[in-house]
Amino acid sequence: MLNYNDVVLDHFRNPRNMGKMEDADAVGEQGSAVCGDMMWIYLKVKDDKIIDVSFETFGCGAAIASSSMVTELVKGKTLDEALKITSDDIVNALGGLPEPKVHCSVLGVDALHNAIENYRKNRR
């Protein structure tokens, strides 16, 4: 059995910013090649800053906790600052993930990058 720390369990049981954002300025989508799970990140952007963010996932508990943490870390950041966040940052902010679950933290970050890409593409 895998051991999850209290921070991970808290973000899994009480995910922050979960749900579809109907009036999002951009949506990012990412699927995991490892497990086939899916993730969506919704962004509300003003003056190049992420003023609101939410997520949905057909993913495991570690994916839910990771995405919850992604949304917490990027809220209020500029798009460039948000792009610098890595899956290692997410794992560290969660206080660690069991090794077989580290790939789950990549999903949220990739979906975030995809959302920022889509936002910039649509504004060109």
Q: Is 60 a catalytic residue?
A: no
35 is catalytic: yes
Among the listed ranges 47-55, 59-67, 78-86, 116-124, the one in contact with ligand FES (CB under 6 A) is: 59-67
Interface pick for ligand FES out of 8, 24, 30, 59 (rule CB under 6 A): 59
Angstrom distance (rounded) from CA 107 to CA 121? 21
Q: Which of 60, 83, 93, 102 binds ligand FES (CB under 6 A)?
A: 60
The window from 57-65, 72-80, 88-96, 113-121 that contacts ligand FES (CB under 6 A) reads 57-65
| Residues at the contact surface with ligand FES, assessed by CB under 6 A | 32, 35, 37, 59-60, 62-63, 101, 104, 107
